[in-house]
A and B are shown apart, each in its own frame.
Chain A
Amino acid sequence: MVHYIGVILDESRLAKIKGTPLEEKIQDLFGGQLKMLVVEVPEEKSQEILKAFDRARIDSRGFIEDLPVAFKRALFEEIAKAKSLDVIDKVLERLPEIQEAAKKESEYIPPPEIE
């Protein structure tokens, strides 16, 4: 079964893919208040991801959730670099580095700068 990973696009991420073919693939959620790219993940690769991150799980919509922020960040970097959603292999090549970064974020994530 194919699973999915949603990549949320905030202002800065939207700017980084402006004018690329990715713009056409942006999905609107919640009446357009949230923009997202959806990456398809084949079964064997989603198993690999679930094995690498023990908190990750597949939710009722078939999305892989509770992934480390480092994973999501790397996924977007690869998408922006390749201007394509077909990047899951590239991300998996970076697994050791992502796992290392994920370890740090299990105890600390810097809070956002809002008042």
Chain B
Amino acid sequence: MAKLNMPPPHGGELVYRVIEKREYAESMAAGAIEFDLKATTDPNGVPIRHVYREIISVCYGFFSPVEGSMTQNELERVLEERRLENGWVFPYPILLDVSDDDLKALDVKEGDRLLLKLKGQPFAVMDVEEIYKIDPKDVATRTFGTPEKNPEVVRQPFDEKHPGWMIYRCMNPNVIAGKWTIINPPKFREPYDRFWLPPAECRAVIKHVKKWRTCIAHQTRNVPHTGHEMLMKCAAYTGDIEPCHGILVNAIIGAKRKGDYPNEAILEGHEAVNKYGYIKPSRHMVTFTLWDMRYGNPIESLLHGIIRQNMGCTHHMFGRDHAAVGEYYDKYATQILWSEGIPSFGFEAPPNEVDKGLKIIPQNMAEFWYCPVCGEIAYSENCGHVKQKQKFSGSFLRGMVAEGVMPPKVVMRPEVYKAIVKWWKVFGYPFVNNKYLENLNKELEIDLAPMEIPKA
């Protein structure tokens, strides 16, 4: 096997649409029509998505080659064949949606420039390319598929109980399409700032600081237990002539649900894995991407592949039930996509074997459990003690944590548990509760510096 090297960004070039210099930023925004960005809320008024996270991920190149809110033709092509208009693979609609009232008040037309504001401050600009109507329910259903149209992997029709389907279902019926440019770079709050490593910088760190030739990505939205740790270690044995040099943990940070672990504990819990030597920091690094998780299993795995390829990874590990909730998709949908393709979603072959597809290499992994006979955390394809196996259950662990019992170190590293307790003391609660949600929805992960825009 030939030695591997860092793949190029998806689409060939990293998108970077961020203006740091104040004078240029101000001149870009001067005279633009102002619009305050708002959260997408469910019928109970609970925020389930905020488009600023997509704007940040697009402008810093996580979603390269996407550059902004999609036009109608592009949206159609993404929904029909998971391709952008330029032919590159992309799984999800990326849209700036506005309500009828807001559109009327804005009085905006094609060719106008919008100044998008967040937390009362200028944040980004966009030149309006197109304004069109969508049927949010139709977009939601076509985004995730149906048992009839996608019989390979869709097992149940999507409905109100699926949080990703609800994100599209609850969008406003008007889309403003156009490229985004950030003119007031966000300042991430503690502890997010320590883990903020946008693709261009992440590539440079991998190449010149860590000096990893190969690197495998680990998707997370959880505090790691030793099952996750073993998955990372074992998946990293793949590589080329030697195991992968590095493991890049990339947490998806976005809208939260009650009962989740707080973002802060997730990031610092993963950090504890390298800080305390379970996987040396020279081999393990923790980062995050802003995105309101859509729980689209195989569809989500495409976005994960794109993000981590853009960040400079050669490989990506995919487990069972990847980015899944409920039983809408086959348990192995992601692994089916990356091993054979899913024709009904536009993949006659795996996404890394199609034209204008991804260059990142999948590593499909089965399960890990504790085996008292083997006396170790065992890989399901090795361990034959099926009767004695003790599965890791996230909810069992959560129960232990809530009861104030320190999980045994064979299940969770004590330093990872201490990261949970550290933030428990800050929030008065080990998991996301109403107060945490209220605060996150108000403060977001970022602050924006005050900025005066000269009148045109």
Contact = CB atoms under 8 A, between A and B. Distances in A.
Interface string B385-417: 000001101011011101111111111000000
B395 A30 contact: no
Interface in A55-69: 55, 57, 59-61, 63, 65-67, 69
Interface in A1-54: 6, 8, 10, 28-31, 33-34
Instruction: List the 4 shortest-distance A-B pairs measured between CB atoms, nearest first.
Output: A33-B408, A65-B395, A111-B424, A112-B404
B402 A107 contact: no
Given A8-B400, A57-B395, A112-B404, A31 B430 contact: no
B372 A66 contact: no
Nearest to B433: A107
B402 A69 contact: yes
A107 B434 contact: yes
B259 A66 contact: yes
A60 B391 CA distance: 9
Contacts of A61: 391, 393, 396
A59 B395 contact: yes
Given A30-B410, A107-B429, A59 B393 contact: yes
Given A28-B372, A66-B259, A107-B433, A72 B410 contact: no
Interface class of chain B by DSSP: loop
A73 B425 CA distance: 22
A112 B408 contact: no
A56 to B, nearest CB: 10
B354 interface: no
Given A10-B405, A30-B408, A107 B435 contact: yes
B406 A112 contact: yes
B402 A109 contact: yes
Nearest to B420: A111
B370 interface: yes
Interface class of chain A by DSSP: loop
Given A30-B410, A65-B396, 9 more contacts: A6-B399, A8-B403, A29-B370, A57-B395, A59-B393, A107-B434, A109-B424, A109-B428, A111-B425
B45 interface: no
A33 B395 contact: no
6 contacts: A29-B408, A30-B372, A65-B393, A66-B259, A69-B402, A114-B418
A110 B408 CA distance: 20
Given A59-B395, A59-B396, A107-B435, A33 B410 contact: yes
A66 B399 contact: yes
B421 interface: yes
A112 B421 contact: yes
Interface string A64-87: 011101001100000000000000
Nearest to B425: A111
Interface string A84-110: 000000000000000000000111111
A31 B425 CA distance: 31
Nearest to A65: B395
Contacts of A55: 258-259
A106 B409 CA distance: 27
A31 B393 contact: no
A1 to B, nearest CB: 18
A90 to B, nearest CB: 20
Contacts of B396: 6, 59, 61, 63, 65
A105 B402 CA distance: 10
Nearest to A32: B372
A106 B390 CA distance: 29
Interface string B115-134: 00000000000000000000
A61 to B, nearest CB: 6
A36 B410 CA distance: 16
Contact of B372 (A8, A31, A59, A73): A31
B390 A29 contact: yes
Contacts of A112: 404, 406, 421, 424
B398 A66 contact: yes
A109 B428 CA distance: 6
B370 A30 contact: yes
B375 interface: yes
Nearest to B407: A34
A8 B424 CA distance: 21
Contacts of B407: 34
Contacts of A114: 406, 418, 421
Contacts of A29: 370, 390, 408
A11 B328 CA distance: 42
A31 B395 CA distance: 20
Contacts of A60: 391, 393
Interface string B418-456: 100100110011100111000000000000000000000
A109 B434 CA distance: 13
Contacts of A67: 399
Contacts of A110: 404
A88 B258 CA distance: 28
A59 B429 CA distance: 23
A76 to B, nearest CB: 10
Contacts of A111: 404, 421, 424-425, 428, 430
